[in-house]
Amino acid sequence: MNKLTVKKNKSEIIYDSSVEDSKHISVKNKYDLFINGKWVKAKKYFKTINPSNEEVLSEVAFADKSDVNKAVSSAKNSFEKYWKKTKPTDRGKYLFRIARILQEKAREFSVIESLDGGKPIRESKSIDIPLAISHFFYYAGWADKLEYISRSSKPEPIGVAGQIIPWNFPLLMAAWKIAPAIACGNTVVIKSAETTPLTLYKLAEIIQEAEVPDGVVNIISGDGKTGSYIVDNPNINKIAFTGSTEVGKNIMKSIAGTDKKLTLELGGKAANIIFEDAPIDAAVEGIINGIYFNQGHVCCAGSRLLVQENIANLVIKKLKSRMNYLRVGNPLDKNTDIGAINSKSQLKKITELVESGIKEGANIYQPNCELPAKGYFFKPTFFSNVSQAHRIANEEIFGPVLSIITFRTPKEAIEKANNTCYGLSAGIWTSKGSKVFEVLKQLKAGVIWANTFNKFNPASPFGGFKESGFGREGGVHGLLPYLKN
């Protein structure tokens, strides 16, 4: 019998690299601001890089106060002049157009999303881009049916929405925000995150191609300051923010006393609860998907694993062996499971919190995998022996780091799960249906998954309790914050 000579590590055969082709994409060297349907020059530009190799991808405009004012007046102007008078079916038509063009360009968008943000191409291809598309399709359908969900027979839009989105799911977050806003007849000024501006400017090209009236969607880029100019602009009627709890609090302070409406989708420290009667192999997959999906840059990540004490050793053993099969590396390789950390500063934050975990005496585990020499990478990590009193059990790490806490009874699990300032999501793993419902009633979390984790659908509302924010995005609930009545 012939024996094979193949590359292997200590546990498995290594696959040859299978890198997604990126020759077909078109990224300009420089992106201006997209205001009133035109590309508008800014005074300053900044570089956006590929976090997996630190190479510059493009330069984008930095919007200062006058640029923001320009964008907001363009949005206000187009709202007053025609968008609020546009027939609902026409608003739907434009959204359908955006969705369809995006669908045609899905491959290009997937590659750019992975280049700019560092996420594995497998995820941008199968989750980010298709979900963004389905949000546009979903809300396109609602545009002419709003009277069925509003208290009024003539639902009215609010006006100009200022939207600020994070860097973990750039295009998807833009879709979450733009689609319901314009379906309801609002106009939009949206700011991309500092490290991931590219797919939003590509979306601007689609908006032009779809012939959406000028000024209905204005897309700008910049840093936190730019965001604060949007928040403070008196012509903004509604703010939708997704990002850190700290910034969310600042936004609330600065709009106090105004009649601006607000929805916030902030941080999380979700409990993923594994009961003794859970299907353990599926639960281990759920743990992996819960915390290592998108390098853990997920606000609803299952970053606290609550596992019943009598099965903790078994679960940890299985988790360890499963982690040996995780592939960390080039985000464009189709077999990569964990890509690059989004930015240098995020890598620093993760490293700092992991060091605190070690210092505070928790047991760290990292699989024996090699990281690329260049770029920002972090090994998938978990801490066992963590108690509620550890920093890593309380603070949002926003990286591939899991804290494992044990519990003895369902009551204790619920208490520990709720013992956090956040309340965005949670997971329950048990083979008993009745236990699922008994536990979920008592969890203070906006999204709860049973025997699965990190599943999204445009028809299902998403949002948090406590310091994870308020207001819902997605589904019918996602339309209501954009309607006056």
Partner 1 sequence: MNKLSVFLKEFQNPVDEIGTKERASFLASRSIKNQTKIDFIKLAVSMIDLTTLEGKDSSGKVYSICQKAKFPLAGDESIGPVAAVCVYPNMISDAAKFLDGTGIHLASVATGFPSGQYPLKLKIEDTINAIESGADEIDMVISRGKFLEGDYEYVFNEIKLIKETCIQTSQKLSAKKKTEINVHLKVILETGELETYDNVRIASFIAMFAGADFIKTSTGKIQPAATLPVTLVMLEAIRDFYNETGILIGMKPAGGIRTTKEAISYLVLLNETLGYKWMNNDMFRIGASSLLNDLLMQYKKQVTGYYQSSDYYTID
Contacting positions for partner 1 (CB under 8 A): 1-4, 6, 8, 10-18, 122, 277-282, 285-286, 317, 325, 334-335, 431, 451-452
Q: Least Å distance between CB 284 and partner 1? A: 10
Q: Which is nearer to partner 1, 227 or 339 (CB)?
A: 339
Q: Which is nearer to partner 1, 69 or 289 (CB)?
A: 289
Let me know how long the chain is: 485
The token pair at 121 is 């191409």
Q: Least Å distance between CB 321 and partner 1? A: 8
Q: Which is nearer to partner 1, 209 or 309 (CB)?
A: 309
Q: Which amino acid is at 260?
A: K
- d(CA 355, CA 337) in angstroms, rounded, equals 24
Q: Which is nearer to partner 1, 14 or 56 (CB)?
A: 14
Catalytic residues: 265, 299
Tell which residue, 224, 76, 157, 184, has the closest CA to residue 484: 157
Q: Least Å distance between CB 439 and partner 1? A: 17
Q: Is the dihedral of CA 174, 180, 183, 184 positive or negative?
A: negative
Q: Least Å distance between CB 4 and partner 1? A: 6
Q: Least Å distance between CB 117 and partner 1? A: 20
Q: In what order do the strands lie in the sheet with 38-40?
A: 38-40, 33-35, 217-221, 187-192, 160-164, 238-242, 261-265, 469-470
Q: Which is nearer to partner 1, 1 or 389 (CB)?
A: 1
Greatest CA separation for the chain: 80
One DSSP character per residue, 100-148 reads HHHHHTHHHHHHHHHHHH---HHHIIIIIHHHHHHHHHHHHHHTT-GGG
Q: What angle do CA 310, 408, 439 make, to 5 degrees?
A: 115
The token pair at 212 is 């959406």
Fill in the DSSP letter of residue 35: E
Q: Please, are residues 116 and 57 in contact by the beta-carbon 8 Å criterion?
A: yes
Tell which residue, 483, 466, 396, has the closest CA to residue 424: 466
Phi-psi label, residue 221: left if phi above 0, alpha if psi -120 to 50, beta otherwise: beta
Q: Least Å distance between CB 467 and partner 1? A: 31
Tell which residue, 275, 301, 299, has the closest CA to residue 289: 301
The token pair at 460 is 């299902």
- d(CA 275, CA 430) in angstroms, rounded, equals 6
Q: Least Å distance between CB 312 and partner 1? A: 15
